[in-house]
Amino acid sequence: MAYTLKITPKMKQQFVSETTAHLNNLEKMLILLEKSPEDVEAINAAFRAVHGIKGNSDYLGYKDLNTLSHAMEDLLDDLRSGRKILDRKLLSALLAGHDLLRAQVGKVTDEKYEMADVSDILSLLQRSIKTAATRAESTPERGSRKIDKRAVFIKAAVQHIDFIKEVCSALTEGKKVQGAQKNLLRSLSTFHVSARYSGFTSIAAALLEMKNSIADLSSVRKKAAHKLLAEITAVEEMLSDDTAATAGVRSKKKLPEADYTDAIGHGIRVSPEKLENIVNIVSQLVIFRNGLNHLLLDKRGTDGKEDPWLKELKTMVAAMDRSIGQLQHRAMDMRLMKISILFERLPRLIRDLGVRSGKKVRLTLIGEDFEVDRKVVDHLFEPMLHLIRNAVDHGIELPEERIQRGKADEGVITVKSYQEGSFAIIDVIDDGQGLDIERIKQGVIEKGLVTAEALHGMTTEEIITCIFMPGYTTTARATQVSGRGVGLDVVKNNIQSIGGSVLLTHKPGQGSRFSMRVPLTMAMEEVLLVESAGELYAFPFAAVQENMTVSRQLIEVMHAREVIPYRDTVISLRHLDCVMGTTAPKKLRKAELAELAVIVLAFGGRYQGIVVDQVLRRESVLIKPLDKHLGKIRELRGAALMGDGSIVFIIDPIGLFT
Amino acid sequence: MLTLSQEAFRMKKILIVDDSMFTRNIHKQIISEILECQIFEAANGEEAIALYQQEKPDLVLMDLLMPGMDGLTVTRKIISDDEHAKIIICSTDKQKFRQQEATDAGATAFVPKPVDPEVLQKQITAFL
């Protein structure tokens, strides 16, 4: 009796994760091929991706996925072997196939898999391959043959290099090598001839020189061997530069493959839920540790002398403390992902947006690649897409308009990523028309978001921030690109929900820039504990610029606000107990105190002083979001459970800025 | 009196080489259905060679198309170190020339992918 495979839910997840990686790669390659259809390596990488998908789908038993990936693999095989030439129609068909695959893969983990009808796509693929140009009969598979010649050379070259290196290293160590000179000459000579034949002229020249340099010696000794060794290493480097576009023969030297292959097979894939579990347990452990520290804090010996047992316990706890700290660090590390994962699918998005809107758009990705919390990545993705759609739709002008304005007909959207302290910043910049202030004003009034009088008193900057208000949208018709009934307020909320902020700057006629600033990590956060009117509060440590004591005499009153000199400017002061409503404002003037404890918060280049009763200590806590009632208070970001079991509010520094 | 050698009691070791974890799990399932054995997994050629040297498995299931070193190269390397290595090539490359190449490289057998569980099981029992 035939044995049927059991596909467990876990295996389905594996399938989805592997296939998604393949699909990302495929998409990347297809976009690359749109620009350079002759890129053999991209075709090979695309083939490998589809091949991987097909291989796995053979076992999964979902017919639509299997049939479609088979058809796409056949087609890519035709391209790979050089039987057919890639054209636009074929590329669109492949992209359409990719889209359907992706949509279906998204359903694999559904309780009931909904089969898709692939017949349309299949006939589209078949039609396009039929009309695609065939390579001329007289020179069959010319492209692939050329590549084969190179590949054969590289294989041989690697062997030659290894051999020459081996012999030379032995000689430099003073070992005797039988027939060294004869063998080196033979190797160099064959190597040289095949390099010349395969078109690697500079390598050929270098080899010839090497050959000549030892041809007339009576024997190859240490000094000559040293020279040869250096020269052959140089040749090896030249070879890797030359073959940067050809498949890596030598996989340990990660030369050319790196650009095209995903990190499949490197490291293990762990499901986010499992990781989350570990992080949660570690977070709890940290809280227990804080509790233990708290218990030990005031323990001395009974009669003032330190109890040896207690001393021992404290040492142990201190050691455990360090280990837990490391564990916490590592656990957080595991959750980190490269920020560049956000940008993987952008080239495709930009391409589609351009096609749909009739605008010419180019994407530039700049900045650093660094690691951020997986959750941050999740929260950033949708907002970023929204901003990009927005930029294409409202920012970038139509080609003819751009030419009229003296710009290049092709608009540029730049996505920039960089790190600033413990924050990640993603900028979405366009070189379009910037914001139309009059239109924003009109929109705001029409929607009844702000009254005309109020608008009159607003600065341009304040008017601009109106576009983040719920219910705001300028375009009367919802465009296909950005109009989805979702406004910029959603972007803002999403970013703020993870403790970030969105900043918008623009230059009329020259473009605009949306800056999303989010913390690199979530969950455990370093806070500064303070006391104010008998209550404990915590400030996110990253937002605290400085804490200091200020003499009363330094306080001045300007525009009915207390200010103090800070660096070469003055900053306004707010009393935390007053802000929190725990003390009546009139009781604030603590004339009896000569000095005040002030925390200086920094945000967006601005400073704000906060007066507290006492600065206690720094601690790392697990921040929990507040429920819906407390969550609306703008001064509060969340709450944390402290070591002694009490709950402390985490202050949202931005909320305290006046 | 019947005596069994130590060898007969030792659990068989099988090494599965495939870049897809999903596929490795499928193969694992097929094998464990017929055989109680120790299974090792490698996701690429380098890992496979290292694991082979360390564990000296009784049988290897080898994928052909993998990132980095391809299955045939890995097969050749393993065979050159251990001429008695038993390697079954599993690959979607159904073309005949692939089978020939596999045999030339020293592989014991060629099983086309998608693997028919019964075919693979027969091959495994035949060579162990």
SS3 annotation, A573-600: EEEHHHHCCCCCHHHHCCCCCCEEEEEE
Chain B residues within 8 A of A2 when measuring between CB atoms: 117-118
Residues 6+ positions from A233 with CB-CB distance below 8 Å? A165
What's the longest Cα–Cα distance across chain B?
53
Cα angle A631, A636, A641; round to 5: 90
Chain B residues within 8 A of A264 when measuring between CB atoms: 19-20, 43, 67
Six-digit token pair at A84? 């057919």
Q: Which residue of B has its CA nearest to A14?
A: B22
Considering only CB atoms, B44 lies closest to which of A5, A48, A265, namely A265
How far CA A10 is from CA of A116, A297, A623, in Å, comes to 23, 47, 31
Across the range B41-52, mean pLDDT stands at 92
pLDDT score for A473: 64
Determine contact, residues A527/A539, Cβ cutoff 8 Å: yes
Determine contact, residues A511/A500, Cβ cutoff 8 Å: no
Regions of chain A short of the pLDDT cut 70: 1-3, 135-149, 242-269, 287, 294, 297-305, 473-486, 522-524, 584-593, 604-605, 622, 624-625, 627-629, 631-632, 641, 643-645, 658
pLDDT score for A521: 76
The b/e string for A292-328 (b: 16+ C-beta within 10 A; e otherwise) is beeeeeeeeeeeeeeeeeeeeeeeeeeeeeeebeeeb
What ipTM was estimated for this complex? 0.83
Helix axes A63-80, A119-131, angle to 10 degrees: 10
Find where tokens 């590949």 sit.
A151
pLDDT score for A584: 64
| Cross-chain Cβ contact A5/B29 below 8 Å | yes
Classify strands A423-430 and A371-373 as parallel, antiparallel or unpaired: unpaired
pLDDT score for A249: 39
| Dihedral, A146, A148, A153, A159 alpha carbons, nearest 10 | 170
Q: With an 8 Å Cβ cutoff, is B25 touching chain A? A: yes
The contact set of A with B (CB < 8 A) is 2-6, 11, 14-15, 18, 48, 51-52, 54-56, 58-59, 248, 251-252, 257, 261, 264-266, 269
Chain A residues within 8 A of B67 when measuring between CB atoms: 48, 251, 257, 261, 264-265
| Cross-chain Cβ contact B22/A59 below 8 Å | yes
Distance to chain A for B55, nearest Cα, Å = 20
| Cross-chain Cβ contact A251/B25 below 8 Å | no
Checking if the pLDDT of B9 tops 70, the result is: no
pLDDT score for A135: 65
- Asked if omega into A308 is within 30° of 0 (cis), the reply is no
Tell me how many helices (H) and strands (E) chain B has: 6, 5
| Cross-chain Cβ contact B118/A261 below 8 Å | no
pLDDT score for A133: 79
Distance to chain A for B86, nearest Cα, Å = 24
Q: What is the pTM of this model?
A: 0.50
- Burial label for A144, CB within 10 Å (0-12, 13-18, 19+), is middle
| Cross-chain Cβ contact A5/B68 below 8 Å | no
pLDDT score for B1: 42
Chain A residues within 8 A of B44 when measuring between CB atoms: 251, 265
**Per-residue model confidence as pLDDT tens digits over A647-657:** 889 888 777 87
Question: What's the rounded Cα separation, in Å, for the pair A603 and A499?
Answer: 12
